[in-house]
Amino acid sequence: MSRRRQIYEGKAKILYEGPEPGTIIQYFKDDATAFNAQKKGTINGKGVINNRISEHVFTRLSTIGIPTHFIRRLNMREQLVRQVEIIPLEVVVRNVVAGSLATRVGLPEGEQLPHTLIEYYLKSDELGDPMVAEEHIACFNWASHEEMQDIAAMAIRINDFMCGMFSAIDIRLVDFKLEFGRIYDGDYSRVILADEISPDNCRLWDFTTGEKLDKDRFRRDMGGEEEAYQEVARRLGLLQDDGNPGEVLDMSAHRSRLRGAAPKPKK
């Protein structure tokens, strides 16, 4: 394969120039960081699993009409996505008190919120991703009023869908982080879902036991992070019995096999 131009290396992913203009390849690494990269490590096989989980979630979300950057998975660690202009916000959606919210408001982790909360953080490693209000977003022109309306509406729909998807496999969706980007069509631009959705940026607790199945295992030195990520993929039906995210349960391969085998429609 010809050498590809690297566009950016982040904490968990590398972005390469895609094969066509307007596309990018997202490469999922095993590297894990926490506390604004003060804690660094690796979670074996994380990149392969997150690539697969994120593909699954983005594909499901597109079936309910959420526009996303996902085009297709290329291989175990890479997916082809649309190039977007990233909106410099981390959009956090919360159903249950945990993490920085527990600290900020002094409530115990695990308390169910009376309604879903959406919070915005400025994407800035130098500043440590400070929380910002919609007033700041408008004042500093990070996103327009219309874009924020679209983002909030999409965040709520994504949350409703994901709560259902995870509760069906006995997982409580505590909170998660989203990122959005703009795509341009002439003078017109619209907002689509970008980045990834995986146990790296969701809090996922087993409904029955409360066991954490996400990156908090790494952040809090609990151990068992590889098994936790695998467990999420397994419950989503994305792993073979041997624990490999192989092609047997690759639904796109499965569907094309079905299409190939389908009887010809009657004339």
Strands (E), 10-153: 13-17, 23-28, 31-34, 39-42, 70-73, 78-82, 85-86, 89-96, 112-122, 131-132
Asked if 60 and 165 touch (Cβ cutoff 8 Å), the reply is yes
> Minimum distance from CB of 1 to ligand UDP (Å)?
31
CB of 152 to ligand UDP, least distance (A): 16
Q: Tokens standing for 266?
A: 């009657």
Q: 16 or 120: whose CB is closer to ligand UDP?
A: 120
* List of residues contacting ligand UDP (CB under 6 A): 90, 92, 98-101, 129, 175-177, 201-203, 215
With CB atoms as reference, the residue minimizing the distance to ligand UDP is 99
Residue closer to ligand UDP, measured from CB, 18 or 199: 199
Q: Work out how close the CB of 228 gets to ligand UDP at its nearest, in angstroms, rounded to a whole number.
A: 13
Of 145, 154, 181, the closest CA to residue 65 belongs to 154
Output 38 or 63, the one with its CB closest to ligand UDP: 38
To which H or E segment does residue 251 belong? helix 251-261
Question: d(Cα 52, Cα 183) in Å, to the nearest integer?
Answer: 24
Q: Minimum CB separation from ligand UDP for residue 163, in Å? A: 14
Closest contact distance (angstroms) between CB of 129 and ligand UDP is 5
Q: Which is nearer to ligand UDP, 142 or 250 (CB)?
A: 142
Q: How far apart are CA 177 and CA 92, in angstroms?
A: 4
Residue 179 or 226 having the CB closest to ligand UDP:
179
* Rounded-to-integer distance, Cα 157 and Cα 117, Å: 13
